[in-house]
Amino acid sequence: LLIVGQTEKAAIEHLYTLKRLIIDSPKYRKYLITKSSELFFREEQTKAGTLFIKNPDNPFRPMRIIGLAFIVSALWSWKNVFRIHMSDPAAAQVVDDSQIYAALTSRLTNTDGRMMIEGPPRGPFGRFYELYEQFKDNKNPNFKVFLVTIYDALKEGLVTQQFIAKVREELGQLYPQTYEGSFVAGLGDVFTEESIINAISFGERAIIEFPKINAGNIMCLGVDPGFGSSKTALCLTESIKDQDTIIVRFTKEY
């Protein structure tokens, strides 16, 4: 079984958590091999990067749970892998991660094994996002998507409503991406309907008062690339000196 973290250190931390859970369990601690004297080879004992688990069907072929980093070179050549657990792949510093997913999938070929991928999103790009978009309707019986948000944690009593209100205010537009499973930061109603109506009304009056662009004012051009969607947006604004006012002079979607 392979535990793949965004870094080797993260993978080892997951193994440590699992190791503590096994040791703390009267039912399962007997399966953890802590001394090489139980088997033939000196290296067959639990250590930082590998857990050795007793095999009830064949005591001379123990199962291994191995922690690996999210890089291609670390993932090839593993044989007889029946399960892969990938954690936080979107946090890995990899530009093109498609080869990593291909390498991991190939490890399950001779066992017809299973893979579990979990983690928060970091934006609408990468293989993690592509898989979510491809299978989020859950029509493929071989791929199941689960969306877990902070509100599920609230129902289970793991967090409080006060904590949710606190982090929503602190994180602002990053809150949906961090706690609501949204791949796009700021998705949702960032501004209230009342504030939008007031801004439009004030803008109409400001255009009458300042009908032409003043070359001496600060101009800002905002570009929303759309992250590969069908539209890219441009917005040109002018900051009016001594007025604490910003006027939207031009907007267009391409």
Distances in whole angstroms, Cα of residue 13 to Cα of each of 101, 130, 163, 200, 226:
22, 27, 26, 51, 36
| 191: its two tokens | 């501004």
Amino acid at 68: L
User: How confident is the model over 165-194, as pLDDT tens digits?
Assistant: 999 889 888 888 899 998 876 655 566 667
Which is more confident, 42 or 132? 132
User: How confident is the model over 58-108, as pLDDT tens digits?
Assistant: 888 889 999 999 999 889 889 899 999 999 998 888 878 999 999 999 999
User: How confident is the model over 113-159, as pLDDT tens digits?
Assistant: 999 999 999 888 889 999 999 999 999 999 999 999 999 999 999 99
User: How confident is the model over 198-245, as pLDDT tens digits?
Assistant: 888 888 888 888 889 998 899 999 998 876 556 788 999 999 877 788
**What pLDDT is attached to residue 39?**
66
**What pLDDT is attached to residue 244?**
81
State pTM to two decimals.
Answer: 0.68
Query: E-strand spans in the chain?
Result: 2-5, 50-53, 63-69, 83-87, 114-118, 218-224, 233-240, 245-253
Q: Which ranges constitute the DSSP H helices of 172-211?
A: 175-179, 193-209
Strand-pairing partners, residue 50, are: 66
